[in-house]
Structure formats: structure tokens, C-alpha cells
């Protein structure tokens, strides 16, 4: 679906991402994990075509991404950030907004908004404004907005990190069910390994701007790939994961 080839991204004379070869397959559901500042968000921005790499190539369904086709391809993807970034209009209109930009007709917009409000359990909020929603409710709106676009790939960059534990668990359950239903190709960034089993057993681990591991979560935790960078990466999780091993 998306391939990165010899990607290097330099900012302020510092190499913050270096990926020789990376492939996200159609229908793949990938969690991306790594410590603070390891390059998780940068990887998502490059994959979602929000940030051009300093060098290297991005391919979408085999087609090389260029400045000409960039916008058209970007419109086939959706991104959910940690902050819901909602507009001061009703929940219904927030979910509808992205589709309006993409020229989808009103009847279809109506159908999709109602469907996704229902799937994320927020139909009752349809006439509310985002300002008085809880953090969890707001993030449900932002998920509904992304899914309603019926994107070919959905990126989520630590979408639940700002939420309390209980709300986070609820949203992980809900998102896991929706992803299983749609089979959407997904990249889910988290700094918390505990979130991954709700969504997938397929994980990429980033360390120092490089992909140190891509494979099954259980193999990673079983220590099958004990390179120094992966070891270092797992260190912070060892304690919290003890009860699962």
C-alpha cells in the first residue's frame, strides 16, 4: 500500500528519520511504538504525506508520490491526532466537514455521519458543540470524522494519550471493534505498549529515527530480536508488562 525507500529526514542539521525500506501492506494494522522523540510522529507525517522527506521516495499503491499527485493521494488517507482539532460547529457538522471538502454529495454525507456517530456511540451528541464535550467524547468525534471519509489508510498518532485510564480502555475497545469491522489499513502510534493488544499483534519499534523492529508483538516481548536498540526500547515497558509474561 505504502512503501518508503531510502528515506532520510533532516531537521536543524539533525537526522530525525532514516528508513531504508518500509512497507505497509493493504489491510495491515500496524502499531508503532518508541520512546519520546524517537521519530514516531515524523514517520507518520512522512507516510501520510504531511512532511516531505529530505531524500528518498514514497510510493502509494506502487505509484511514486510527487508534488503533482501529492494532494490527490493525501485525500485518500485520514489522520487522527492526540488533540481532536474540532471546529466550533456541531458534532454532526464536524464529522461531515471533511467529506464536504472532498466533494461527497449531501445524501451520502448524511448517511455516513449517522452511521459513524452510531458506531462510535455518540449519536446523542450530534447537536452539541465540541467545547463542552469530555476528552473521550471529543476523540470519538474525531475518530468518526476519520472513518466517515472511508480512507484507504488511517493514521492515528497517540490518539488516546491525553485521556484518563478508564476512558482510554473504552476507546481502545471501541476502536479495535471498528477496525476489525472495516479491515482498514491502519497505523497506530503509541508510546504505551499496553495499548497494542487491543488493536493488533503487529508492531514496528522506532529508536533514534530508525525502525529497530517490525513483526509480531509477542516475538518482540519474548526477546527474539534482542538487538541493543530493541533492548533499550523495551526497558521502560519491562515492569508494566511483567504481569502479561
Ligand X SMILES: Nc1ncnc2c1ncn2[C@@H]1O[C@H](COP(=O)(O)OP(=O)(O)O)[C@@H](O)[C@H]1O
Q: Which residues bind Mg ion (CB under 5 A)?
A: 40-41
H or E stretch covering 4: strand 2-11
Binding mask 212-231 for ligand X (x = CB under 6 A): --------------------
Tell which residue, 222, 66, 78, has the closest CA to residue 150: 78
Distances (CA, A) of 162 to 20, 66, 128, 167, 168: 32, 35, 21, 10, 9
Measured from the CB atom, is 120 or 160 closer to Mg ion? Answer: 160
Tell which one of 13, 36, 67, 127 touches ligand X (CB under 6 A). Answer: 36
Beta bridge partners of 206: 211
Query: 80 near 155, Cβ under 8 Å?
Result: yes
For residue 42, state whether it binds ligand X (rule: CB under 6 A).
yes
37 near ligand X, judged by CB under 6 A: yes
Report the residue from 3, 29, 40, 119 that binds ligand X according to the rule CB under 6 A: 40
Smallest separation, CB 214 to ligand X (Å): 16
Phi-psi region of 75 (alpha: psi -120 to 50; beta: other; left: phi over 0): alpha
Q: Shortest distance, CB of residue 191 to Mg ion, whole angstroms?
A: 8
39 is a contact residue toward ligand X (CB under 6 A)? yes
Instruction: Tell me the pairing of strands 55-60 and 2-11.
Output: antiparallel
Binding site for ligand X (CB under 6 A): 11-12, 16, 34, 36-42
Amino acid at each position: 500500500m505504502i512503501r518508503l525507500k531510502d528515506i532520510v529526514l533532516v531537521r536543524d542539521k539533525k537526522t530525525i528519520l532514516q528508513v531504508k525500506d518500509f512497507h505497509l501492506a493493504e489491510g495491515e494494522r500496524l502499531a508503532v511504538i518508541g520512546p519520546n522523540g524517537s521519530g514516531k510522529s515524523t514517520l507518520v507525517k512522512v507516510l501520510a504525506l504531511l512532511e516531505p522527506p529530505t531524500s528518498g521516495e514514497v510510493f502509494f499503491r506502487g505509484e511514486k508520490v510527487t508534488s503533482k499527485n501529492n494532494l490527490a493521494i493525501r485525500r485518500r488517507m485520514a489522520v487522527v491526532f492526540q488533540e481532536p482539532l474540532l471546529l466550533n460547529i456541531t458534532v454532526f457538522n464536524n464529522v461531515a466537514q471533511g467529506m464536504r471538502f472532498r466533494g461527497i454529495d449531501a445524501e451520502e454525507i448524511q448517511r455516513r455521519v449517522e452511521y459513524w456517530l452510531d458506531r462510535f456511540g455518540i449519536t446523542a451528541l450530534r447537536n452539541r458543540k465540541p467545547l463542552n464535550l469530555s476528552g473521550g467524547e471529543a476523540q470519538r468525534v474525531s475518530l468518526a470524522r476519520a472513518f466517515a471519509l472511508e480512507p484507504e489508510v488511517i493514521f492515528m498518532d497517540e490518539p488516546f494519550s491525553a485521556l484518563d485510564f478508564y476512558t482510554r480502555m473504552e476507546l481502545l475497545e471501541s476502536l479495535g471493534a471498528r477496525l476489525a469491522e472495516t479491515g482498514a489499513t491502519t497505523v497506530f502510534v503509541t508510546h504505551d505498549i499496553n495499548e497494542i493488544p487491543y488493536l493488533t499483534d503487529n508492531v514496528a519499534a522506532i529508536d533514534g529515527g530508525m525502525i529497530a523492529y517490525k513483526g509480531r508483538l509477542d516475538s518482540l516481548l519474548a526477546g527474539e530480536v534482542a538487538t541493543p536498540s530493541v533492548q533499550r526500547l523495551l526497558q521502560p515497558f519491562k515492569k508494566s508488562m511483567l504481569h502479561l509474561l
